[in-house]
Structure 1
């Protein structure tokens, strides 16, 4: 999937993304934070404005689209880039993980991998900023922050491949 990016002097940036069937989604991000969404029926066609979103609403919609509130497809691993080099990732804890039953403290995850656990989803509950006494339980989803290397190290710990 290609994303065409272009500067709009005095306005902001324009992104064009082919969405299938020859159609293109055009997103204009204004310097003010306002976002405009347009659609083009072909690469060379004029665009039709669909909607305009203020910055805060655009960020909330973006968060929903990336799956931060709900993951429609069952996945063991979801990745989001927060800043250059920093990832926010979701990892499902499998029954056969060697750290099931250990606490964050006893597993020494921070020192072993370099990641920070920011939340745990357990059934319908979310434990934000979990303490050192929280345990790894099969079926949990751990939300972590770290660089790519640290995230890979955490994945290796989960699978016993470290």
Structure 2
């Protein structure tokens, strides 16, 4: 997937996403937060406005599209970019992971990698804002926030700890 980004002085930003078949989805994010979504059939044609969303509604729809509420097929890696270098990542603890059976405090993730565990998913349960005494089990999915490099170090730490 190719995404083109450009500044629109006095308006906001424009992102163009290349779709299969040469079409482009054009998203204009206004400085006010309002989003306009257009479809451009080909690079030489005019765009057709599909719809417009308020900032809050765009964020809610984006969360749905991202799969935060339902993921029909578990992908190998899930990563959400929150800002320039801040990401939200989901890391599964494998059966052979040496951190399985340790508490978050014993694992010392934050000091070792700079990333923070903000939730632990265990089956149908989610432990939001887990304390240091939360025990990590094989099969848990750890929801991690931090810089991209910190999250990559975290993932390697979970595998190599």
Is 1:50 the equivalent of 2:35? no
1:45 shift after superposition: 1.4
Structure 1 residues 84-93 or 95-104, which shifts more? 84-93
Residue of structure 2 equivalent to 1:129: 129
CA gap of 1:148–1:68, structure 2 versus 1, over 3 A, is: same
Following TM superposition, the consecutive aligned residue runs of length 4 or more in structure 1 with deviations greater than 4 angstroms are: none
Give the secondary-structure state (helix, strand or coil) at the position aligned to 1:38.
strand
1:122 shift after superposition: 1.1
Alignment partners' CA distance in 1, 2:44 and 2:119: 45
Q: CA RMSD in A?
A: 1.7
CA gap of 1:29–1:104, structure 2 versus 1, over 3 A, is: same
Conserved? CA contact 1:12–1:28, under 8 Å: yes
Alignment partners' CA distance in 1, 2:69 and 2:77: 15
Residue of structure 2 equivalent to 1:32: 32
1:152 shift after superposition: 2.4
1:76 shift after superposition: 4.5
Residue of structure 1 equivalent to 2:154: 154
Query: TM-score, normalization: structure 2?
Result: 0.89
Give the secondary-structure state (helix, strand or coil) at the position aligned to 1:152.
helix
Alignment partners' CA distance in 2, 1:16 and 1:72: 26
Name structure 2 gaps, 5 residues minimum: none
Give the secondary-structure state (helix, strand or coil) at the position aligned to 1:130.
coil
Structure 1 residues 130-139 or 147-156, which shifts more? 147-156
Give the secondary-structure state (helix, strand or coil) at the position aligned to 1:21.
helix
Alignment partners' CA distance in 2, 1:145 and 1:110: 10
